[in-house]
Structure 1
């Protein structure tokens, strides 16, 4: 009887410790941003894409459309128990290049410089009005001509 009570007591204490441990603040760091000394070693108008990558390391991303710049991004995210993670710090360094691939500018942005971008959920209508996958698959039975192409098609391009 006494051992059963002690087992229950230790089980309750263990559950309490685990529930308290889940409410601990944890910070996670993602990405990399070069230090001020590393950025100072970049010579604008002289360094190229290759020399910048050798000095600073590979970028997190490059220019979206034309590869016009290197982006280095670091985020620090706070995780606290079951709550939604919160970004508490974000640093972005942009090394811009001209059309010849020569470094022209270095810009630094922080979380305060950013703007929230509302995401909209748009649904594209595919024009299919039938009742499901099986109906779509079975509706093509018998629609093939002797050449293997659907009936009514010319069979060519």
Structure 2
């Protein structure tokens, strides 16, 4: 009886430790925003885009073709047990360049600003313009070759 009692105690202890560690708060950090001391070295109108990328690393998004701006982003998520991760903090650093690729402006946005910045638009075009499924199926009947199905050479 003593053996069963000791084993049960150990199992209860292990289950308690597992339950406590499963509900431990965990913080996750994603992305990178250069620290303020590095940003202080940037000179408006003097520092170039290439210098920024060399000194601070590749940005998370480069929209140079659209508005000549690069973005650095950093997010802090808090996970607690089985619940979905909760966004605690997000910072976005936008560095604008003029036509000569020299720094024009530096902007920092946080969650409190409430401004939505699309860093990467991930939309895949299907290449099908207003054609229904049945139209595609019926349209392919004329292009079938019997030799393909009969494996004739």
* TM-score tier after normalising by the smaller chain length: 0.7 to 0.9
Query: Which is helix-richer, 1 or 2?
Result: 2
Give the equivalent residue in structure 1 for 2:63.
63
Residues in 1 aligned to 2:70 and 2:108: alpha-carbon distance in whole angstroms: 12
Q: How many angstroms apart in 1 are the aligned matches of 2:57 and 2:80?
A: 32
Which one has a bigger Cα radius of gyration? 1
Question: CA deviation digits over 1:120-157, x for unaligned, max 9?
Answer: xxxx9862249xxxxx7xx96x94267x7xxxxxxxxx
1:31 equivalent in structure 2: 31
Normalised by the length of structure 1, the TM-score is: 0.72
Evaluate the alpha carbon distance shift between residue 115 and residue 108 of structure 1 in structure 2; reply closer, same or farther with a 3 A threshold.
closer
Kept after mapping to 1: 8 A contact 2:32/2:72? yes
Query: How many angstroms apart in 2 are the aligned matches of 1:100 and 1:110?
Result: 28
**How far apart, CA to CA, are the structure 2 residues paired with 1:104 and 1:98?**
6
1:55–1:143 Cα change, 3 Å: closer
Gaps of 5+ in 2: 118-127, 149-153
Give CA-to-partner distance per residue, 1:11-62, whole Å, 9 cap, x none: 1221111011111111111111112221111111111111111222221211
**Equivalent residue number for residue 79 of structure 1:** 79
Q: How does 1:84-99 map to 2 (within 5 A)?
A: 84-99=84-99
User: What is the TM-score when the length of structure 2 is the normalising length?
Assistant: 0.74
Give CA deviations for 1:68-116 in whole Å, capped at 9, x if unaligned.
Answer: 1111111111001111111111111111112221111000111111357
SS class of match (2:133): coil
Matching of residue 107 in structure 1 with residue 107 in structure 2: yes
Is residue 64–residue 70 contact of structure 2 (8 Å, CA) maintained in 1? Answer: no
For structure 1, list consecutive stretches of 5 or more residues without a partner in the other structure.
Answer: 118-123, 131-135, 149-157
Structure-1 residue corresponding to 2:145: 144
Provide the aligned C-alpha RMSD in A.
3.0
